[in-house]
Amino acid sequence: METTSSREVILKGIRYSNLFLIKQEAEAPQIPVFQRADTPLKPEFEVHLQKAGGVAHDVSSVAEVETKLAVLHPEAMVICSAVPEIAGTRKVTEVHDPHELADVDVGIVRAQFGVAESGAVWLTQEDLVVDALGFLSQHLIVLLDPNEIVSDMHAAYLRVRLDETAFGCFMMGPSATADVEATLVHGAQGARSLNIFFLPPM
């Protein structure tokens, strides 16, 4: 097993090496606020989500979500929900071990906010309840309040609280790969599809 001495050797080595460098930046630079055109964020979010392979849906009620869910995934046997609005066939709060999620066809989660410049949504351990729900589910349904969209990653990092969650993910569409002849394929390891329903929480 390593001892504290490796730690000390490395830190000492860094301090020694730093003696050879001119200290260019005494402070970390301030990150300016970049001006954004005053355009609505939802259409921009939708365009980028589509490019990332996701699909956005405007809905007016929970009932409409359930109807669309049945159309999108008619053969789904196991629907595991992490949101109070939709019951599914299994509540994720009753799952104790992530391996229990291996058979999930559709996972349903609510994202805290979306990012217009990429179409990504922010999901934390608290939103997923069991992290693996976001990645073992064959398909994902994400509920998102259309008023909760920020313009870019600078604004996004002002909202995330990494000091309050063990896991957080910007998820931009479904799983993807281009490892065989640079051909884009969705559903490499994670979700095969990602549908976002614009619906404020109850």
Partner 1 sequence: MSNTKKADPAAAAELFILRDQVHEPMHDRFLWATMQRRDAQAAAIPEWEELRELASKIKEHTLTHLDHYLEEFEANATKRGAHIHWAIDAAEHNTIVHSILESHGVKELIKSKSMLQEECQMTPFLQNRGIKVIESDLGERIQQLDGQPPSHIVFPSIHKTRRDVAQLFARKIGTDPNNDDPHFLTEVMRNNARPRFLAAGAGMTGGNFAIAETGTFMVCTNEGNADIGASVPPLHIASIGIEKLVPRVEDMGVFLRLLARSAEGEPLTQYSSHFTGPRKGGELHIVLVDNGRSRRLGMPDFWHSLKCIRCGACMNTCPVYRRSGGLAYGATYSGPIGVILDPTFDEFKYSELPFHSTLCGSCTDVCPVKIDISDQIFKWRRVMAKKGYLPLVKRLAFAAAGRAFGHPEEFRLMEEAGGPALGYAPDFLLYNHSLNPWGRDRQLPQPAKKTFREWYLANRSEHGND
Cα 147 to its chain centre, rounded Å, is 17
Q: With CB under 8 A as the rule, give the number of residues binding partner 1.
A: 79
Assigned token pair, 53: 């392979």
Judge whether 63 and 87 are in contact, CB under 8 Å.
no
Q: Which of 167, 67, 83, 156 lies closest to 120 in space, CA to CA?
A: 156
DSSP-derived pairing of the beta strands 139-144 and 149-150: unpaired
Kindly indicate which of the ranges 65-73, 77-85, 106-114, 181-189 contains the residues binding partner 1, using the contact rule CB under 8 A. Answer: 181-189
The distance of closest approach from Cβ of residue 30 to partner 1 in the complex, given in angstroms and rounded to an integer, is 9
Site for partner 1 in 49-88 (CB under 8 A): 52-53
Q: Is the Cβ of residue 60 or residue 189 nearer to partner 1 in the bound state? A: 189
Kindly indicate which of the ranges 57-65, 73-81, 82-90, 186-194 contains the residues binding partner 1, using the contact rule CB under 8 A. Answer: 186-194
- Please identify which residue in 2, 38, 75, 94 interacts with partner 1, judged by CB under 8 A: 2
Judge whether 17 and 86 are in contact, CB under 8 Å.
no
The distance of closest approach from Cβ of residue 154 to partner 1 in the complex, given in angstroms and rounded to an integer, is 4
Site for partner 1 in 110-169 (CB under 8 A): 117-120, 125, 130-132, 134-136, 152-158, 160, 162-163, 165-169
Compute the distance between CA of residue 98 and CA of residue 46 in angstroms, rounded to an integer.
Answer: 31
Decide if residue 18 touches partner 1 (CB under 8 A): yes
Torsion of CA 121, 43, 80, 135, to 10 degrees: -40
Q: Is the Cβ of residue 109 or residue 120 nearer to partner 1 in the bound state? A: 120
